[in-house]
Amino acid sequence: MSATRYLEIAERLSAELAECARGTRVASEAEIARRFGVGRAAARAAVQELERRFVVRRTQGSGTFVNRRIDYVISRSAPPSWSATIAAAGLPHEVAGAEFARRRVGERAAWVIARHVPAKRYLVATDPAYHALLSPVSVASLKVQGGPMDEREVAEFAAHPLAADAVALRRWDDAAKDPDGPRLTMPTLLAAHARCVAARRV
């Protein structure tokens, strides 16, 4: 089975669940595994991916359910604002960023962005010098986010083919928090985005 099989399953389920009402119960991991002919680990990863995308929510002891839809409103009286939509929905910024990238750049970029917090936990667990680089706010949030990864989590994260990219992006994000550091101009960023979009069409 390919390393991205769970993403294929998540895409199929996401498309199907888009037609379901909020609160609809989602198939269990065992049912998903049987349906797609995969192991429980792949089924679990697919459900976790849907949860990261805010497509479903899991309730301990009750099951997994379709989450509420987020409408992105565009009208003459209300200029489109992705950040305002996300703020109103209460999504974590890494989930918001991943969804934005998924629609405009692709799944690989979205996966890397969505691992913003796991990459932080991974680095704290594997790089003794990294913790000292965190801001006081980031140190405080680390406790809520689960603290450093344990050995099993480190191995699972590192095994993913895009793990190194997620770690690199996390380090770039940390470095970019320097208010006196170099900045990219908006035309440079837009040009980079245009190149990504063009590459997807090839």
DSSP calls for 146-185: TSS--HHHHHHHHTSTTHHHHHHHHHHHHHTT-TTS----
Quickly state the pLDDT bin for 171 (edges 50, 70, 90): very high
Instruction: Please provide the CATH number assigned to the domain covering 115-201.
Output: 1.10.3210.10
Cα 127 off chain centre by: 23
Mean pLDDT of 95-122: 84
Tokens representing 143 are: 């406790």
CA–CA distance, 157 with 96 (Å, rounded to integer): 21
Res 1 pLDDT > 80? no
Each domain of the chain, given as residue ranges in start order, spans 5-66, 115-201
Could you name the CATH architecture of 5-66?
Orthogonal Bundle (1.10)
Could you please report the per-residue DSSP string of 125-147? HH-TTTGGGS-HHHHHHHHHTTS
In the numeric block, the tokens 């590192």 are attached to: 158
CA–CA distance, 98 with 107 (Å, rounded to integer): 9
pTM: 0.55
Q: For 112-164, what is each residue's pLDDT tens digit?
A: 998 998 999 999 999 999 998 888 888 888 888 889 999 999 999 999 999 99
The mean pLDDT value of the chain amounts to: 82
